[in-house]
Amino acid sequence: MFYERVDFIVSQSTKGVSSAISAIFFGIISLIGVAVFILWLFMLFKIPACWSFTALIFVYPVFSASIRTLKSSYEFLRDLK
C-alpha cells in the first residue's frame, strides 16, 4: 500500500517535470517562430522598420503568453530542488 502511493507520487512528479520541460521547449519555439514570422512579413512586404512597433501591438499577446509559460515552468522546475 505504501509503495503504491510512493510510485503514484513519483509518477505524478515526473509527469510534472516532463510537462514543464516540454512547456519551456514549446515556449521557446513559439517565441522564435513568431519573431521569424514577423521578420518574414517585413521582408515580404518591404515594410519600413518604424512599423515594427505597430506589429508588436498585435503580436504582444503571443509573446506575453509564451513568456508567462516559460516563467511558470522555470519556477516549477526550480522549486523541485
List, as own/partner pairs, every contact residues 29-33 make where C-beta atoms lie below 8 angstroms and the sequence separation is at least 24, other chains included: 30/62, 30/66, 31/63, 31/66, 31/67, 31/70
Confidence band of 25 (pLDDT split at 50, 70, 90)? confident
Count Cα neighbours of 24 within 13 Å in the Cβ-side half-sphere.
Answer: 13
What average pLDDT does the chain have? 72
- 78 vs 15 pLDDT, higher one: 78
